[in-house]
Chains A and B, each alone.
Chain A
Amino acid sequence: MTSVDEQRWLASIGGETRLRFDGLSMIFPDGTHALDDISFSVAPGEFTTVVGPSGCGKSTLLRIASGLESGYTGVCDVNRDTIGYVFQDATLLPWRTVQRNVELNAELHGIDKAERKRRAEQAIELVNLAGHEDKYPKQLSGGMKMRCSLARSLVLNPGVFLFDEPFGALDEITREFLNDELLRLFSLERFAALFITHSIAEAVFLSTRVLVMSARPGRIVGDYQVPFGSERPHDLRFEPEFAELCGQINDDMKDAHA
């Protein structure tokens, strides 16, 4: 354990950590070795991103964290009381309006009508979708669908937020714009975030910590604390320090691939 990890571990004993993996490995029944000895933890107010090549098991890690996947070995300790999960796809129900889509998670958790309506309105406001409450998903752009999907998770005030390459299918401009928005939400809500992406720039821009995962079987081969503070202007992406960190992570990814 590195000293940083040790500090995190100590913090977790104090009840702070909301998500912890220790020696986590995953071999699927068909013999696919997806994950190998993954150990790290995420505390509230931490935004940890795992970057890695396609098919390296990043999504499997997230599915294990959420409880959708089992059959792993090692420790996966997640506070699942209120969990937010944002899929690769917006996964909106096409027969529901924006308002009713945002209410869905609360509805499934049995929160009463008036309360979930109030929370949904708040969340819609938060993701800048106000005025679109009565639209159906097919009337929304890709970016708006993703905001709607974010709002749906926000309604539960999740303590742990899992993101499975949520902006991968969007164009560059929309993606950067949503990155800015997500940072703003993060600074407001201070959840523990675990984000998966294959975009290094996105990882560096969003995170407090970036982990690099190797090709299958997925191992953590790089661990970077991101030195930028919580105030991250859009133009940060063009600063030399930003580019330098991206370059280092890129080298790690290449080594992991070789």
Chain B
Amino acid sequence: MTTFDDRIDAAVALPEAAIEDEAGAPITRVVPVRQPGDGLLGRFLPPIIMLAVFIGIWYLYSTLAFEQAFQRRNALPYPHEVIQDGFLPLWDSRQGTREILGYMWPTVKVTLLGLAISIVVGVLIAVVMNMSKYSERAIFPYAVVAQTVPVLAITPLLTQVFGDRLAVRLAVVFLIAVFPIITNTLFGLQSTDRLHHDLFTLNKASRWTRLWKLELPTAIPALMTGIRIASGLAVIGAIVADFFFNQGDKGIGYFIRVTQQKAANRPDMLAGTITASLFGVVMFLIVGAITARAIRDWHDSAHSS
């Protein structure tokens, strides 16, 4: 019979001794360190359960609303109705997914173009603001105004200035998306290490060299964070623009607005809404992937995205 002390001795013995029993056969194996929840199941099961719960609540709401309402008019269509009447048939140009994608395309164009303009102009503005305290003070309040002014309130003004086709939609996207680009880039430019600045001073670097070889590279991770926030906002901006400026190419916002007017078209409306939301998610994922690719070699945070 082993005493308590024997067991203590065994427990503190050398590892080689601990992994063999009396007959010399290994009784424990070295197991690679794994965090719980690293497996496929641990990764995908939680969001799938979440989705199931969400769809369950949706069914519940649709059912209750149907029983309470005198008419079906105010009810939310069931999820299967959205798929049957909204997304199917998949490839019909007058109805279903293909029609929705047709309306998505102008929105995608406005989003990407508006985001590109926001990035270029936003970075330029941040660089100018970084030049001196005075330029920062001069510009910053107006950058904040661009962010906080309700876009709908200045809709007539925007139409006056930009006409009512592509340019005005781009202006809406720009107004919404440029602020996070400016603030993040400026923060990135200003967080340059003091000793790095000394290093460039010692090497008699010019202002442009300093900007190009030190400050802008330093700002890249912050800029990418800004672009990621802006990409979601740009999608919102493009859809809002679709809602209120419907001359020219009609976007998904127009489709959503029109289909929500008749109860019979509500499944189409929801299909459009879901497609537009998926586009926002896709934008977010793409920018995240580009960020990870761009800075994975050198930035500490690169593995987190």
Contacts and interface: CB of A to CB of B under 8 A. Distances in A.
Interface in B181-214: 193, 195-196, 198-205, 209, 213-214
B300 interface: yes
A53 B186 CA distance: 38
B297 A136 contact: yes
A169 B43 CA distance: 40
Interface in B249-303: 295, 297-300
A137 interface: yes
Interface stretch (A4-12, A90-98, A115-123, A172-180): A90-98
B199 A87 contact: yes
A104 B209 CA distance: 11
Contacts of A150: none
Contacts of B300: 138
Contacts of A67: 202
A109 B198 CA distance: 15
Contact of B193 (A85, A91, A96, A104): A91
A66 B217 CA distance: 26
A38 B12 CA distance: 60
Interface string B208-228: 010001100100100000000
B298 A137 contact: yes
A87 B195 contact: yes
Interface string A176-195: 00000000000000000000
A205 to B, nearest CB: 26
Given A68-B201, A109-B203, A94 B298 contact: yes
A91 B205 CA distance: 16
Nearest to B294: A95
Given A136-B297, A137-B298, A95 B217 contact: yes
B67 to A, nearest CB: 61
B298 A95 contact: yes
A89 interface: yes
A79 interface: no
Given A105-B203, A137-B298, A87 B198 contact: yes
A88 B193 CA distance: 13
A8 B299 CA distance: 48
A68 B198 contact: yes
A137 B300 CA distance: 11
Interface string A115-154: 0000000000000000000001110000000000000000
B204 A108 contact: yes
5 contacts: A89-B195, A93-B213, A95-B299, A108-B205, A109-B204
Interface of A: 66-68, 83, 85, 87-89, 91, 93-96, 104-105, 107-109, 136-138
Interface of B: 193, 195-196, 198-205, 209, 213-214, 217, 220, 295, 297-300
Query: Which 5 residue pairs are nearest across A and B when measured between Cβ atoms?
Result: A108-B203, A136-B298, A94-B298, A91-B195, A95-B298
